[in-house]
Amino acid sequence: MRVLSLNFRQALFAQESSEVPIFLLTITHPQLTTPILLSTDPTTRISDEPLVYGTTSRGSTFLYAGVQLTLPDEQDRQAPSSKLTVDNITRDLIPLARSIATPASIMIEAVLASALDTVEMTFPSFQMTALTYDVSTLQFDLTLDALTTEPFPAGDFSPAYFPGLFF
């Protein structure tokens, strides 16, 4: 169960609201020198030449890049999964995605436009898998390394593993 502030819940469930929920994505990988920070909202203008928008939260600037995010579901007996679609506006993302052999990690955080430094919800440690792309977009499947898929108990008391029990 996730505890959300009253303002965040009202913004999510209201038919009309002046509050805007913003999702911040932090993409990390050992081959990246700095994390890639993306935002789902063009909150403020970062620069004029080139024209760049983004969101500043907790001292970091998250660039707006036309991100579409499907939030993970929290089903029983199934690992949470999500989809991430990023517009390929600079044409630099496809060569970057092709050059990385292991999955990148992504952390998703939710904030309100009125309180950019207050994180309302966090989804840590997603792994980017199943990359599909075309000229305009890149789509990643995001999955968690879920403990729900691990067998419990880890071992069983069989003659092969515990021969001393079976005399």
Of 50-59, 74-83, 106-115, minimum mean pLDDT range: 74-83
pLDDT for residue 20 is more than 70: yes
Q: What mean pLDDT is predicted for residues 94-108?
A: 77
Q: How confident is the model at residue 152 (pLDDT cuts 50, 70, 90)?
A: low
**Is the separation of the CB atoms in 85 and 68 below 8 Å?**
yes
d(CA 136, CA 84) in angstroms, rounded, equals: 14
**pLDDT score of 58:** 92
**pLDDT score of 69:** 78
Q: How far is CA 67 from CA 64, 79, 151, in A?
A: 7, 23, 36
Q: Identify the residue with better confidence: 18 or 107.
A: 107
Rounded percentage of the chain residues whose pLDDT exceeds 70: 80
pLDDT for residue 100 is more than 80: no
**pLDDT score of 148:** 53
Model confidence, pTM: 0.74
Q: How big is the CA angle at 46 (ends 42 and 51), to the nearest 5 degrees? A: 80
Q: What is the pLDDT of residues 22-60, one digit of tens each?
A: 889 898 888 888 888 888 888 889 888 888 889 999 999
Q: What is the mean pLDDT of the chain?
A: 79
pLDDT for residue 151 is more than 70: no
pLDDT for residue 146 is more than 70: no
Q: How confident is the model at residue 77 (pLDDT cuts 50, 70, 90)?
A: low
**Is the separation of the CB atoms in 14 and 23 below 8 Å?**
no
What are the sequence ranges of the domains in the chain?
6-165
**pLDDT score of 147:** 55
Q: How far is CA 88 from CA 10, 38, 67, 143, 158, in A?
A: 33, 13, 10, 22, 54
